[in-house]
Amino acid sequence: MKKYLLIYALITTTIIVVGTRYFLGENSRLENNNYALMQSVQSYRTKADENAASVQVLRLKIGEYEELRAADAERIRKLGVKLKRLESAAKNVTNTTVNIAAPLRDTVIVRDTLHLHDTVRVFRWRDSWVTVDGVIDNDSVSCSVSSVDTLHQIIHRIPRRFLFFRYGTKAIRQEIVSSNPHTEVVYSEVVSFR
């Protein structure tokens, strides 16, 4: 009889310990997700004077991702990737704003149909990241803007701290650095799958 009570006590204790660890981990995950959803993108400049942003990673299960981000899940399926094989999914929105002051110059255009000479004003401005070409005609303006940018994404973990000791994982953050000084990261979202 004591043997059965001992086995019952061990099984019950194991179930309680495993269940408690699971629910504490799930509670921590949901708490971090709430914080990540309430937090906005933190913008800053690096020591190299590049625009950068930081955002906390959202940790979801595949079922939660399919339910809450149905459009993104469908887009991933159309790429031929199975959702169960995903490690993480990221979405970034950037805005490039450039204030331009470019000199105007007159250019003579010969139109073949009527053999007339016409004058238009042309401007061109460029730097290492943005190129702007434009023509100002009698009553219209046509402009071409081309912008090149590289976004560097770094996903890292933030450890828990107790006194001087670091252990475990408190949160996972993503750092985004833009190589284009005119670009600002407006929105970023990273979903990590368990």
Question: Tens digit of pLDDT for each residue in 54-81?
Answer: 888 788 888 888 888 888 888 878 877 7
SS3 194: coil
pLDDT at 1: 77
Burial class (CB in 10 A: 0-12, 13-18, 19+), 181: middle
CA distances 6 to 16, 18, 36, 60, 152, Å, are 15, 18, 45, 39, 57
Token representation of residue 25: 């981990």
How many whole angstroms from its chain centre is CA 93?
Answer: 7
| pTM attached to this predicted model | 0.53
Q: Please report, rounded to a whole number, the percentage of residues in the chain having pLDDT higher than 90.
A: 0
DSSP 105-137: EEEEEEETTTTEEEEEEEEEEE-SSEEEEEEE-
Please enumerate in sequence order all residues whose Cβ is within 8 A of that of 46, keeping only pairs 6 or more positions apart, or say none: 52, 177
Burial class (CB in 10 A: 0-12, 13-18, 19+), 165: exposed
pLDDT at 101: 65
SS3 38: helix
**Which 8-state DSSP code applies to residue 47?**
T
| Per-state percent for the chain, helix, strand, coil, to nearest 5 | 30, 45, 25
- Give residue 181's pLDDT band: very low, low, confident or very high (50, 70, 90): confident
Question: Tens digit of pLDDT for each residue in 96-105?
Answer: 776 666 666 6
